[in-house]
A and B are shown apart, each in its own frame.
Chain A
Amino acid sequence: MNIVVCVKHVPDAQADRTFNESDNTVDREGVDGLLSELDEYAVEEALKLAEATSGEVTVVTIGPERAADALKKALQMGADKAVHVCDDAIHGSDAPATSLVLAEAIKKATDGSPQLVITGMASTDGTMGVVPAMLAERLGLPQVTYASELTLDGEKLTIRRDNDASVETIEASLPALVSVTDQINEPRYPSFKGIMAAKKKPVETWTLADLGVDAGQVGLDNSWTKVVEFAKRPPREKGEIIKDEGDGGTKLAEFLANRKFL
């Protein structure tokens, strides 16, 4: 089975993330980037399924040149090959445009018939968590998302989905689109052997033209939403900090009473 995993290169959450003043897009140049942590779970789950079914894992990303680092990490973990969709016209694309390009890349990578597509639950920068559902819609695949447990029995997929107020069991047949949460597995670290092997693995770079996507359908100017303004939240005013000298709990209750919480 050929499994496709979609991954994203994101600004490191530990760094000072910000926006570009010029066009209100996420600053992807001034901040160190890495494979989105939530995508590591998708790569891991794909590797496990591929190992169990003698399958193959293809990782796909969209992004500027440096996004290749995310693919490299996935290849080091054990993915077999990678596709990098890289085109200046994509800069500033919103989720619908991103899902359009990804859907076309997935089709091209699988000769038009994907069997299993796996994604993370959300990116750690945009955090919308909507691209998996959009991909299912665009690819016409059953949507099997937010899996915290997954079993594949022949063609039958079963997942556990944790909602706000309930836990659901979802079933679907392949081909399907799956997104996984951070509860599903423990992603492996790349081994030395994996790091060396990754250097020889094939990485294809595709442009919009390769995918047959018109540049007029993507990018900031063709986005279906726009950021009007962004503002750094003013730092919270430093509050009162006391050392507990035996009456810390009482003082805490006093604070809450003064703020009318009691």
Chain B
Amino acid sequence: MGEVLILVDHVDGKLRKATAELLTIARRLGEPSAVHIGPGAEAAKVTLAKYGAHKVYVFEDEAALSHLVAPQAEVLAAVVAKTNPVAVLIPSNTAGKEIAARLAIKAESGLITDAIDVQAGEGGPVTTQSAFAGGFTVKSQVTKGAAIITVKPNSAAIEPAPADLAAETVDLTLSDLATSSTITERKPKEKSGRPELTDAQIVVSGGRGTGGDFSPVEEFADSLGAAVGASRAAVDAGWYPHGNQVGQTGKQVSPQLYVAAGISGAIQHRAGMQTSKTIVAINKDEEAPIFELVDFGVVGDLFNVLPQATAEVKKRKG
């Protein structure tokens, strides 16, 4: 079986859930190997082995993470040139897609982004993507080189499959071009204590209908252990941070449950949430397009409906 590379997703050496998801998917396609860039490779080994990595290629030079994406593409390109893998799986976030983009050019390999599923197929991996604001599903294949695929969070249920892990150092000097765009400061976003939007099983979002008061949205979210999102209208009005925006120009989420409160459901918002499993909406306007998508809708004032629902959820949860 051919080798399948995954780029380890970590923050300061702490592994993110996407790493185990990518390894779980990689096992369908071949023999998984991890590529770890930056500090923390030693500590990561236990988890990488647990989810089936046979090898980890390590590049520890911190310069790779203090410059924007290009160094990581260079490291991956070096490993790809050496191993000639079947596929390279990369987390589908902003940086991940850019790393994949540069790698595709360097390795002259086809690139598919934002996969929501990847399966083995004749002639290589077959990906599933959502297109046109979730209105279509598209199946694609790479036809040249290693299949470079960025995979969205929550695209696979994590399954352990312990393997014996060997480590190998990547011997590489970063080019001047790769270090020409410098990250001079990195501030973690303020932690809300809530789950991360793109990882969350439940998301509760507020829009124009909140009039700027997100407290009923946040309280309902907290009763469910949910992440909080916002429509573009609410973000543009300055009511909620841009990092919480759900939609085409914000985050694309696909939780088990999505609750839209005071959101009309414009195409730009639907692009970010239409693939959610169950959708619930609360809106004063019974003509709001969001009601075309819902499994359950309440025509009413969110300032009445949400507090009552919050109280009932708390009562039922005990």
Contacts and interface: CB of A to CB of B under 8 A. Distances in A.
Do A and B belong to a common assembly? yes
A133 B102 contact: yes
A223 B110 CA distance: 8
B97 A128 contact: yes
B216 to A, nearest CB: 10
A21 interface: no
A243 B184 contact: no
A106 to B, nearest CB: 15
- Interface SS of chain A: helix, strand, loop or mixed? mixed
Interface of A: 13-14, 17-19, 38, 94-96, 99, 121, 124-125, 127-134, 136-138, 140-146, 148, 161-173, 176, 181-183, 223-233, 235-236, 238-244, 246-257, 259, 261-262
Given A128-B113, A230-B139, A261 B101 contact: no
Nearest to B132: A17
A62 B184 CA distance: 35
Contacts of B306: 249
18 contacts: A19-B131, A132-B101, A133-B99, A137-B105, A142-B177, A145-B69, A164-B198, A165-B188, A167-B186, A223-B110, A224-B104, A224-B110, A224-B143, A236-B279, A244-B304, A253-B316, A257-B316, A261-B278
Nearest to A225: B110
Contacts of A244: 298-301, 304-305
A145 B196 CA distance: 23
Contact of B114 (A128, A134, A223, A246): A128
A231 to B, nearest CB: 5
A179 to B, nearest CB: 9
B305 A142 contact: no
A96 B308 CA distance: 52
B143 A223 contact: yes
B145 interface: yes
A163 B197 CA distance: 13
Given A253-B309, A259-B278, A167 B133 contact: no
Nearest to B73: A137
B300 A248 contact: yes
A232 B317 CA distance: 39
Given A18-B132, A170-B181, A250-B308, 7 more contacts: A17-B135, A95-B101, A96-B108, A130-B113, A137-B73, A231-B137, A249-B311
B94 A243 contact: no
A239 B295 contact: yes
Contacts of A252: 280, 282, 296, 298, 305, 309, 312
B142 interface: yes
B286 interface: yes
A58 B259 CA distance: 44
Given A14-B267, A140-B177, A233-B135, A130 B297 contact: no
Given A134-B101, A166-B189, A183-B242, A240 B70 contact: no
